[in-house]
């Protein structure tokens, strides 16, 4: 009976959520979970069972999260179960059923939603921690099939998005297991593992520290050079998330020749444009962190003329997103004390690049659908141009009366 009720609850929750989406009401974004299914075909009764508190496998020994945190609280709201339910549904059937439900009147729809909410309050739905434990167990099971491992990682990818869940991942023993999957022979498993790590540590100093201590950064930097472009992209995403605003992580990044890795990507015109975007975004972030910590010695990498030219050259791209990210990086680099204005002028031809970009943006402004974005980008371009000229002006030699009519000379 319990299993039947659970199925009814989940089916109804999914259908009503889809109906809400089609009706244009605001719901939490769930499209990324549309193709997830349970690992190893877990029965509903398995999902409803609670882990035993005394089980040493349930909590890892060196947990950074408070021991009193409740990892078995169930879903905290109707939104939580709807997100979980819709993530484990067939998208085509979901849309078809939702269109049927859409024909219900507003009062009928509201009544159905209230019924589901009452079911949720009465039943003990599986908590996020339980769902994470199931996925972790599948990864830790050497007999799990490739498909099961992929599904487990896909489930973790969604589950670690909330901050509390990400903090619980190490407590459940999941971080070490996911990091171990970075060595899996299948590139898709490695890709998903890097993605999970990046998602878990993004804007999360606690998880950043845990992953760094487990030694994953070295492996992730090597994965950026993978022949599998999708693996390389997700590895670079994870590297960026891991060292963002993290000084110790950045020191290790440089020690592991991460700057050389970035230079190789930026200077290679045949690199996938997604790698270019992520690489120059990471550059901008590293420089911004340096500007916020002025007492810290600047990396020699930032004043390497070949590196600077590779960043400036990205402004010639026809991809507006890449141009914007390159401009932000150049803006930050110009504000560093150790970067030389004349290198930007003579070696990188920044002035010529900015002029050419201005003409390109003027052409785009004639297009109504791109005008607003082009205007925003032009404002950023002008800001970079102003900072550049100010930096350049500091190294200009003022003319004497004798050569007042002559052009200004550079030191």
| pLDDT tens string 185-208 | 999 999 999 999 999 999 999 999
- What is the pLDDT, as a whole number, of residue 171? 95
Who has greater pLDDT, 113 or 59? 113
Mean pLDDT value of segment 167-194: 97
Can you say whether the dihedral through the CA atoms of 187, 192, 196, 198 is positive or negative?
Answer: positive
Token pair recorded at residue 19:
């109906």
Rounded to 5°, angle at Cα 231 from 225 and 237:
85
User: Mean pLDDT over residues 245-255, rounded?
Assistant: 95
State which H helix or E strand residue 397 sits in. Answer: strand 396-397
Contact of 10 with 125, CB cutoff 8 Å: no
- HEC letters along 47-84: HHCCCCCCCCCCCCCCCCCCCCCCCCCCCCCHHHHHHH
Instruction: Supply the pLDDT for residue 32.
Output: 37
Give residue 12's pLDDT band: very low, low, confident or very high (50, 70, 90).
low
Angle between helices 258-267 and 273-291 in degrees, nearest 10: 130
């Amino acid at each position: 009976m319990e299993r039947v009720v659970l199925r009814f609850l989940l089916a109804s929750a999914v259908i009503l959520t889809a109906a809400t989406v089609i009706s244009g009401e605001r719901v939490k974004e769930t499209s990324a979970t549309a193709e997830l299914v349970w690992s190893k075909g877990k029965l509903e009764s398995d999902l409803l069972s609670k882990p035993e508190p005394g089980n040493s496998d349930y909590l890892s020994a060196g947990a950074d999260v408070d021991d009193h945190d409740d990892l078995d609280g169930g879903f905290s709201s109707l939104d939580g179960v709807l997100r979980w339910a819709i993530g484990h549904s067939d998208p085509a059937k979901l849309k078809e059923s939702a269109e049927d439900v859409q024909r219900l009147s507003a009062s009928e729809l509201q009544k159905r939603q209230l019924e589901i909410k009452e079911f949720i309050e009465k039943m003990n739905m599986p908590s996020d921690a339980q769902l994470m434990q199931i996925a972790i167990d599948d990864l830790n099971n050497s007999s799990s099939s490739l498909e099961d491992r992929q599904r487990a990682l896909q489930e973790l990818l969604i589950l670690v998005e909330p901050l509390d869940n990400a903090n619980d991942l190490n407590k459940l023993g999941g971080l070490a297991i996911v990091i171990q999957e970075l060595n899996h022979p299948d590139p898709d498993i490695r890709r998903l593992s890097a993605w999970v790590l990046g998602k878990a540590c993004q804007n999360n100093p606690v998880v950043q520290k845990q992953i760094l201590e487990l030694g994953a950064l070295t492996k992730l930097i090597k994965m950026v050079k993978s022949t599998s472009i999708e693996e390389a992209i997700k590895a670079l995403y994870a590297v960026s998330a891991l060292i963002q605003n993290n000084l110790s992580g950045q020191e290790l990044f440089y020690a592991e020749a991460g700057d050389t890795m970035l230079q190789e990507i930026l200077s290679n015109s045949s690199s996938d444009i997604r790698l270019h975007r992520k690489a120059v975004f990471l550059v901008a972030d590293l420089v911004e962190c340096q500007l916020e910590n002025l007492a810290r010695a600047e990396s020699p990498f930032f004043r390497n003329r070949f590196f600077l030219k590779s960043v400036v050259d990205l402004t010639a791209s026809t991809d507006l997103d890449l141009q914007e990210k390159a401009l932000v990086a150049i803006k930050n680099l110009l504000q560093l004390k150790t970067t030389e204005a004349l290198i930007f002028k003579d070696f990188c031809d920044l002035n010529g690049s900015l002029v050419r970009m201005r003409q390109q943006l003027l052409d785009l402004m004639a297009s109504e659908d791109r005008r607003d974005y082009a205007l925003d980008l032009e404002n950023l371009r002008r800001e970079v141009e102003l900072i550049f000229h100010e930096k350049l002006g500091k190294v200009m030699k003022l003319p004497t009366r004798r050569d007042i009519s002559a052009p200004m000379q550079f030191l």
